[in-house]
Amino acid sequence: MKTFSGSLDMSVLICSSSRPLQQSLEALLGAMGCKIVSGADTTASAREQLASQHHDLALIDDSFKASRNDLSALPVPALRLSCEPCGNEPELTKPFRPADLAESMLACVQRPAGNALAASS
């Protein structure tokens, strides 16, 4: 089993309509060394937070209702957290281990620019 050791040292916007999931991810990401962790439950809130604070990555949960265009227009790399794989990159299927989340986050921020996140509209 993979374990995570070290610090991710990145700021993350959690986009989820599920407050319990946001809280769990905030605690997990904090333990992984993320500097600023904030949550958004609407596309407007996500855009506002991205405009006012620096973020390295957005985690987009299934519960976050946004159109494909809304998500692809985010100015940061985005990692989709989904219950069922949809074959679109980048995504991580739930449930996941902390080490898998860390690995997926690092891979996502290292992807070349211009890779849009696909999501259901």
Number of Cβ within 10 Å of residue 68's Cβ equals 14
Q: How confident is the model at residue 1 (pLDDT cuts 50, 70, 90)?
A: very low
Residues 6+ apart with CB under 8 A from 121: 67, 68, 69
Report pLDDT digits (tens) over 48-100.
888 898 999 999 988 887 766 676 677 889 898 988 877 666 889 899 999 99
Query: Is pLDDT at 29 greater than 70 in this prediction?
Result: yes
Structural domains of the chain, ranges and CATH numbers in brackets: 12-109 (3.40.50.2300)
At 69, list the tokens: 């265009």
Report the alpha-carbon distance of residue 96 to residue 43 in Å, rounded: 25
